[in-house]
A and B are shown apart, each in its own frame.
Chain A
Amino acid sequence: MATSSYGRLIKEGLWSNNQALVALLGLCPLLAVTNTAVNGLGLGLATLVVLTLSNATISIIRNWVRPEVRLPVFVLIIASFVTAVELSMMAWFYELYRILGIFIPLIVTNCTIIGRAEAFASKNPLGRSLVDGLAMGLGFTLVLTALGAMREIIGLGTLFSQADLMFGEVAAGLYMSLGEDFKGMLLAILPPGAFIGLGFMIALKNLIDKQLSRARKAVAVATTHPAPAAGGTA
């Protein structure tokens, strides 16, 4: 694991060790804010920034921080970055900041960030920690946005509503709607919808993994003799 290439790091962050779909970390913001695609994207990007910066910083100081005090130091660093992100959002994306509300400061308690700091950044050099932070953050953002989009389409019949809050007036053209007559399923944008939606996303990921490993096994069987060993890890 420690000697794996950057490509492997990116693949782990986006897919095989995705923090939301495999590690199931950071579920509180994941479930709470993903009622629209833009909210999910906004929180995802904020988390991405914090995760990348904290991973990089912790990797730099990893040799000077004594193990006994590492967790408080990590939390301190993460909290500083979260505060910085919060203040920047207040300055430049005030409307989005108001919608996301308490969940921006709560990024500091997101287990993904402290988890990556402890499990990866405190043991790896700067470059790899930076890539790991980016990949994990991106994987988290993608899940948040996909879940947000799914819930928004089913619950409200729209997609990327309020995109202008984030990307300016240009993005207003992203807005899509299924029409005024569409009667949204309110449950999807309520908390149960988040749990059910995430459950279906995890099921879909497991299904794809299963198909891939089966296809790989079939290839292996075709090329060599049938091997009794199991395929890839879960």
Chain B
Amino acid sequence: MRFLTITSPHSARPNSVTVTMLWVIVALLPGAVAMTWYFGWGIAIHMLLASITAVVAEGLVLKLRRRPALPAIQDLSAVVTALLFAIAIPPLLPWWLTLLGTAFAIIVAKHLYGGIGYNPFNPAMVGYVLLLISYPVEMTTWLPPIMLNQTPLDFAQTLHAIFTGSLPPGLSWDGITMATPLDEMRNQLNHNRMISEIRQSPLWGDFGGLGWEWVGNWYLLGGAILLYKRIISWHIPVSMLGAVLVMAMLFHFLDQESHPFGLFHIFSGGTLLGAFFIATDPVTASTTHRGQLIYGACIGLITYVIRRWGGYPDAVAFAVLLMNMAVPMIDYYTQPRVFGQQSSSNE
């Protein structure tokens, strides 16, 4: 963190966790609104559902730990966890899965490790990965973006689908759902089709999937807000996106027909959301600037490796959790030299 020199009067900011979290929520809004626009009311419903669950779970667990609940709820960190979780999950996910994932994120991933500031793993991603591993079918049932969707559901129908699992008459789950662009690309490549052939389908936009890439742009805007407000530093997003881009371009130029263009990986899946909002979580990320560069680059590397050779279409969540584990070691080896310390005694 940089301390700005400002003239007096110096006034301390009030509770800075709340302010930080509030700005994260503000920065998340463009992307969230875009998601709701492209994929229907499900996203908004899940955001509300996850937020309520997170606040209730936080209150319960704090009561159990005999800590004052109100200040911890007011710092909004539980709400941020819930929102990040809610925009990562499919829009028509059954309601109880959202409850399960959010409650697990708050109770197990956050509070069993000691609460805010102590959790080694990003809670939102723990909840997401729990569901992805346990319920792979539900978690990969995405809707097509609005311009490809022949039968968009209205608010009441979406609510009905989430809470009862039944669709309006005449529609079937197979009929209305569609794979994510990453999933689609992967399936087609597994069928030995060439990229130029795959990309002729109306599914694709300029870089990633139609609609999806625009959501990515709005996350980019949110990330710019966070950078401008100095809530995050540039190190993690730049190194993470850089690593994904370098890996993807390298393989793209080696074999253009079986590796999509680098920007496809940037604008697909959770790359941009992960780079600006998830990997930069101040609690679970590396704290030194050199460490942040290593941490971000490794996340990008692992993301690409799992997407290309692993068993899951997207891998940002796995990559973030794996690197969360390495953070103590990264921090240990990248401690900045104290001013005046002999550089020869440093490693």
Question: A-side interface residues toward B, CB under 8 Å?
Answer: 183-188, 190, 192, 196
Contacts and interface: CB of A to CB of B under 8 A. Distances in A.
A190 B133 contact: yes
Contacts of B22: none
B109 to A, nearest CB: 11
A187 B100 CA distance: 13
B108 interface: yes
Most buried by A among B100, B135, B136: B135
Interface size class of B (residues with CB under 8 A): under 10
16 contacts: A183-B135, A184-B134, A185-B100, A185-B134, A185-B135, A186-B133, A186-B134, A186-B135, A186-B136, A187-B130, A187-B133, A187-B134, A188-B134, A190-B133, A192-B133, A196-B108
Contacts of B134: 184-188
A195 to B, nearest CB: 12
Contacts of A186: 133-136
A101 B262 CA distance: 46
| Interface secondary structure of A, over-half rule | helix
A188 B130 CA distance: 10
Nearest to A188: B134
Contacts of A188: 134
Interface in B111-141: 130, 133-136
Nearest to B130: A187
A27 B136 CA distance: 28
A202 B218 CA distance: 45
A190 B133 CA distance: 9
A180 to B, nearest CB: 15
Contacts of B136: 186
- Which of B130, B134, B135 has most A Cβ within 10 Å? B134
A15 B78 CA distance: 38
Contacts of B135: 183, 185-186
